């Protein structure tokens, strides 16, 4: 009976441990080349040279909160932008 209890305890502990694959699938573990975390809403902005949340940057810089406006605002080569 005692051996069965020990076996159950070991199986329970083994089931609770996470594998290396579980670590990479966690929210927030998806940093891009710049260290931005897309799962948290962050994207790289070349103009500010930092990770930004597009909707927060749009509010702070007074431009439309859209994909196109964020891309245009954060374009590294500002001379290619047409207004």
Residue pair 75/47 in contact by the 8 Å Cβ criterion: yes
Residue 2 lies in a domain: no
How many folded domains does the chain comprise? Answer: 1
Confidence of residue 60 (pLDDT cuts 50, 70, 90): very high
pTM: 0.60
Residue 22 lies in a domain: no
Residue carrying structure tokens 């932008």: 81
Residue carrying structure tokens 């083994």: 14
Range of the domain at 62: 29-83
Residue 43 lies in a domain: yes
Confidence of residue 53 (pLDDT cuts 50, 70, 90): very high
């Amino acid at each position: 009976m005692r051996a069965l209890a020990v076996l159950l305890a070991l199986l329970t502990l083994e089931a609770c441990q996470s594998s290396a694959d579980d670590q990479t699938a966690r929210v927030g573990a998806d940093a891009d080349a710049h260290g931005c975390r897309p799962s948290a809403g962050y994207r790289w902005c070349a103009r500010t040279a930092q990770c930004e949340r597009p909707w927060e940057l749009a509010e702070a810089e007074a431009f439309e909160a859209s994909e196109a406006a964020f891309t245009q605002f954060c374009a590294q080569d500002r001379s290619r932008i047409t207004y």
